[in-house]
Structure 1
């Protein structure tokens, strides 16, 4: 069986390894447009400020490891430009020479990931405007910010906040420029305010409700003109999100969603026989919304890649879906969310209730406790948990993970009280903060 996988990172190589384990006769070829395989994109902001020593440290396995140890034909610098599903042929060009190539498949996985969204406006061609998605992006940013003073980040989501922290840590003046009225749009506004406070504490400027008009400068960017005023800057990082990297697909046979994500069934099969898709280029079933969604995260990519690889190798498995869990660090606060926020609950038409409280992460009498702002949302009639958002210090990750498990199993607030969670004064109170929130509503 000839397996071809487009994409050499999380989803693609998770699938390749499952095929390797379950099909001893497998002939596996993976095609990557760049030089790097299997690296941790989420670690890249921390390379910028030196917490991670170099981009080399985020690489899990090099192409030669897949070739020599697992007999996977891991090719680099292969840019795919077309998939002929009738003849089952993938074609493209060598990234550096532009010479053509083609390869036949019996089963194909598309795991091309996502690419950074770029602002389409005047001045986009100026130097000193970057985004962060890959190892080459990271190395370019590190080289170019050395001699600049003021950096403007357009966007305040996960990557925008992590880059803001990293640049601030190496002594840059940082401005976050937003089209909306808050950072972290995945959170409700009362929690986002805590992040604004943390930014101001570290001398990061945040400008809200600005419509970007054009970049200014001659050769190198020197400012951003908005509909209100001009903001001088020495460097710009666009962090306004990502979109599925599926431009090479025509969408006629391999069906795409409106945003370009590939439609898949629970087995990660596309609308074409023998073609699968996984990771940031594909849709993700959301258990909370009970419909296809698009929340590109490394955890999901690895899980979907595993499921796709198993099914390609003949082992029937289904992707159980996501509940929408995420977490990030921003200076001294941890920001976590799982399930639905209030905006999403309203859009879905749920009759709901919510509560927001500030609680301590450990026993109140034990020294060193840290506050966390917790928001819980639940269905009004059944008391089934719908979402959990937390901004605070130590212990946010633990509570978000408890919430994620509860959401996966559609637990009600009463059932949260029965959970046998670990307790000792340095780690928790006898009633965990999540349980305290639930207990107050019963």
Structure 2
């Protein structure tokens, strides 16, 4: 009998797994259950669709359910919500939204790819018209549909993380007066202060108000819509509010099935993406991600990781033997005319883990000193182990050119456990329009050697 592969969730991890299973097993039955009406789309592109950089929805969709069925014989069931996993019977219970009934579906191997969901605190007024999250395609559609029939002018973005800042820029480009509120004393708390301040400066230079140390307690408005965001310190007028304070893994199904959870209640998986129950795998934003630097399970939900984990889970589900190598925590974000990026650990991470560390902080041109360069110079901050000098992490800020190249070099160095001194030996590309004879990362290494 052909093997039945069942996948819960039709986004990055789920569809990567489904595709890999089909490559390895031409005869097996591949069933994907997705509770929404769209699959395989770029969540990270949603702020750019809202802002008009991406002109239409279909550009964010990699493949439709029909394409998966016709080209790969992968059966995707839209508007099918899995409500229970029963490992003892090796079956799931599925609520079919359109039929309004519940069915039982047996499986041989199961993948949980339920992703993450936006965190929305129980604030009074959170359900007022004009209050949105921006996590899913459905969220973006609701926001754009609402904007097509309303004319708000004052937008408040609650949360100064990656999506919050990208959304602030998107709304600014649509002509809104934008205010960003954050509970923390700085934007993007995963970055160190020196780098976060560069992002904040980019916002304020473009007319976006930033208010830190602001604890939201509720939202005010009436049946016509939201009118203000209330914090412990005051009140901020708004006729549009985006809540963007982070995400949490959707792991309730796994927990109820007796599957072990890990950091931040993500589903704990091993290097083969197996859970604590045989024949059940998990991947993507709902699962843990092994951190190579911490040498421990972590939770760093990103689309790149979800695709990698989905592929590896699919190989193993189909009888192969692949291992997830882990992450080093690499991320990059554009904030108007500035770019900030990070990989590995920052100072606060090192302090929290009790790692003895040292820091080098430099500013450098990303091109030769004599070559014209009108963009921002790079600010580079590297952390390395005080005793063995192994690289622990780094953060880079600059303009729209030069940051991405260096953060990827740094991520590669961290992945291979290089020391800060070994950066100098790397054979990196050089021509005056692109680099100096010594890359800025190598310049930082030289400063670190001088002590």
Q: TM-score range by the shorter chain?
A: over 0.9
1:64 partner SS:
helix
- Quote the residue 1:152 is aligned against: 156
TM-aligned CA deviation for residue 35 of structure 1:
1.1
- Deviation digits for residues 218-257 of structure 1, max 9, x if unmatched? 2211111111111111011000001111223334521123
- Deviation digits for residues 350-390 of structure 1, max 9, x if unmatched? 11100111111111100125301110110111111111101
- Quote the residue 2:205 is aligned against: 201
- The correspondence of residues 161-176 of structure 1 with structure 2, limited to 5 A, is 161-176=165-180
In the superposition, the TM-score normalised over structure 2's length comes to 0.96
TM-aligned CA deviation for residue 213 of structure 1:
1.1
TM-aligned CA deviation for residue 348 of structure 1:
1.2
- The correspondence of residues 209-220 of structure 1 with structure 2, limited to 5 A, is 209-219=213-223, 220=225
Which of 239, 242, 245 in structure 2 is aligned with 1:240? 245
- Quote the residue 2:334 is aligned against: 329
Conserved in 1, the CA contact under 8 Å of 2:366 and 2:378? Answer: yes
Alpha-carbon separation, structure 1, partners of 2:106 and 2:351: 48
- Deviation digits for residues 141-165 of structure 1, max 9, x if unmatched? 1232351000000000000000000
Alpha-carbon separation, structure 2, partners of 1:8 and 1:117: 21
Aligned residues: 442
Which of 343, 354, 374 in structure 1 is aligned with 2:380? 374
TM-aligned CA deviation for residue 304 of structure 1:
0.3
TM-aligned CA deviation for residue 273 of structure 1:
0.5
TM-aligned CA deviation for residue 258 of structure 1:
5.6
Q: Does 1:73 align with 2:80?
A: no
- Quote the residue 1:347 is aligned against: 352
- Deviation digits for residues 117-155 of structure 1, max 9, x if unmatched? 002121222111100011121122123235100000000
- Deviation digits for residues 194-229 of structure 1, max 9, x if unmatched? 111111110000111111111111221111111111
Conserved in 2, the CA contact under 8 Å of 1:360 and 1:369? Answer: no
Over aligned residue pairs, what C-alpha RMSD do you find? Answer: 1.1
Which of 288, 293, 302 in structure 2 is aligned with 1:297? 302
- Quote the residue 1:424 is aligned against: 431
- Flag as ranges the 4+ runs of structure 1 deviating above 6 A: none
- Deviation digits for residues 293-346 of structure 1, max 9, x if unmatched? 000000000000011000001110111100000001111011100000100011
Alpha-carbon separation, structure 2, partners of 1:18 and 1:34: 22
Alpha-carbon separation, structure 2, partners of 1:56 and 1:421: 38
Moved more, 413-422 or 399-408: 413-422
- Quote the residue 1:8 is aligned against: 10
Alpha-carbon separation, structure 2, partners of 1:230 and 1:51: 32
Which of 226, 231, 238 in structure 2 is aligned with 1:226? 231
Q: Does 1:391 align with 2:393?
A: no
Alpha-carbon separation, structure 1, partners of 2:116 and 2:23: 27
1:259 partner SS:
helix
- Quote the residue 1:360 is aligned against: 365
Alpha-carbon separation, structure 2, partners of 1:211 and 1:43: 28
Conserved in 2, the CA contact under 8 Å of 1:4 and 1:28? Answer: yes
- The correspondence of residues 103-118 of structure 1 with structure 2, limited to 5 A, is 103-118=105-120
Q: Does 1:187 align with 2:191?
A: yes
Alpha-carbon separation, structure 1, partners of 2:344 and 2:256: 31
- Quote the residue 1:143 is aligned against: 145
- Quote the residue 2:444 is aligned against: 437
TM-aligned CA deviation for residue 288 of structure 1:
0.8
Conserved in 2, the CA contact under 8 Å of 1:307 and 1:318? Answer: yes
Alpha-carbon separation, structure 2, partners of 1:58 and 1:15: 19
Moved more, 397-406 or 374-383: 374-383
- Deviation digits for residues 268-292 of structure 1, max 9, x if unmatched? 0000010000000000000011111
Alpha-carbon separation, structure 1, partners of 2:232 and 2:404: 39
Conserved in 2, the CA contact under 8 Å of 1:34 and 1:95? Answer: no
Alpha-carbon separation, structure 2, partners of 1:386 and 1:335: 18
- Quote the residue 1:38 is aligned against: 40
Structure 1 segments unaligned to the other structure (5+ residues): none
TM-aligned CA deviation for residue 95 of structure 1:
2.8
- Quote the residue 2:264 is aligned against: 259
